[in-house]
Structure 1
Amino acid sequence: MTVSENQAAHAHGTGQDGAQPGWTTAVTMLQDASPFTVPDGASAMTISVEWEPGDPGSPPHRHPGPAFGYVIEGAVRFELEGEPERVIEAGGTFWEPGGDVIHYQDGNALADARTRFVVTMLCAPGKPMLVLVDEAELAERAHLRAPRPTA
């Protein structure tokens, strides 16, 4: 989706009538996520993640607030509770609402190349940005996981 010149001018703070000299209005919408909740007193953290070929990524976990990511290179295997597993290739975006939702997979989908992405997370004060989910809770919430293809 390409953002209109009017939306781009508004995004750049130039008002309704266009851009200032030297400013671009070539803006492309990469992601529009809603609804999401921002924890009271949240801070924003942007991190860069790099995985070697075949890296499985983090074990099942959750984040206290929403997270928004962009894949720079390679491909991310991504699975959130209630959604089917998918692969997000370079140039693609992802987001998750945070809170109670389990993030099952986020590893490198490529066996022969590395993957890099950046993610901005809205973190709740005093809470870690990533909390691992134990086996007992995974079993208790198994009915919330999207069906997985059988081999």
Structure 2
Amino acid sequence: MHNTGPAANCPMARSTEWQTALTVLQEVAPAFFPAGAHVVTVLVEYPPGDLGAPPHRHPGPAFGYVLEGEMLFELEGLPERVIRAGEAFWEPGGDVIHYQEANNRYDIPVRFTLTMLCGPGAPIFAQVSDSEIDERRNRRARRSS
């Protein structure tokens, strides 16, 4: 196999682009990591106007990045907000309910990655029952609409 890239012309040359190639998108200090955690990264894609996953929780912290479109995002205790392509987000996981990850647009899809820390054998996604949502309604932030 022949190298046809820039290094083929000068094998000892070194780039300095790496010094400015990194951009920090988010930095957080999660409250906990599940014992024996492993990491799972998924790609999520919802069509235009899709409501996304039902209310759920993750066993540990989750870190995401919107690749395309806009996501309507809502975690328990925080107001809903729109996260646009090129923006990062995170959620603490554990007992916190993730109410929304809907496509905020009716004309384009939304695509995002999500990297989750999960305990051994724990599902990456646990749906929350309507009765639990009702029991915890006082923990949900006031809705904008």
Category of TM-score, reference length = shorter chain: 0.7 to 0.9
Q: Which amino acid aligns with 2:15?
A: G
Identical residues among aligned pairs (%): 54
Equivalent position of 2:67 in the other structure: 72
CA distance in structure 1 between the aligned counterparts of 2:47 and 2:31, rounded to whole angstroms: 31
| TM-score between the two structures when normalised by the length of structure 1 | 0.83
Any conservation in 1 of the 2:30–2:61 contact (CA below 8 Å)?
no
Equivalent position of 1:8 in the other structure: none
1:147 corresponds to which of 139, 142, 145: 142
Task: Please report the RMSD computed on the Cα atoms of aligned residues, expressed in angstroms.
Answer: 1.3
Equivalent position of 2:107 in the other structure: 112
Structure having the higher Rg: 2
Q: Which amino acid aligns with 1:22?
A: S
Q: CA deviation at 1:22?
A: 1.9
Q: Which amino acid aligns with 1:28?
A: T
| TM-score between the two structures when normalised by the length of structure 2 | 0.87
Q: CA deviation at 1:124?
A: 1.1
CA distance in structure 2 between the aligned counterparts of 1:98 and 1:21, rounded to whole angstroms: 42
Equivalent position of 2:125 in the other structure: 130
CA distance in structure 1 between the aligned counterparts of 2:110 and 2:99, rounded to whole angstroms: 18
Equivalent position of 2:23 in the other structure: 28
Secondary structure of 1:107's aligned partner: strand
Between Structure 1 and Structure 2, how many residues are aligned?
Answer: 131
CA distance in structure 1 between the aligned counterparts of 2:77 and 2:43, rounded to whole angstroms: 26
1:47 corresponds to which of 21, 29, 42: 42
CA distance in structure 2 between the aligned counterparts of 1:101 and 1:135, rounded to whole angstroms: 15
Q: CA deviation at 1:35?
A: 3.3
Structure 2: gaps spanning 5 or more residues: 1-12
CA distance in structure 2 between the aligned counterparts of 1:22 and 1:103, rounded to whole angstroms: 43
Equivalent position of 2:6 in the other structure: none
Equivalent position of 1:58 in the other structure: 53
Q: CA deviation at 1:42?
A: 0.6
Q: Which amino acid aligns with 2:33?
A: V
Structure 1: gaps spanning 5 or more residues: 1-19
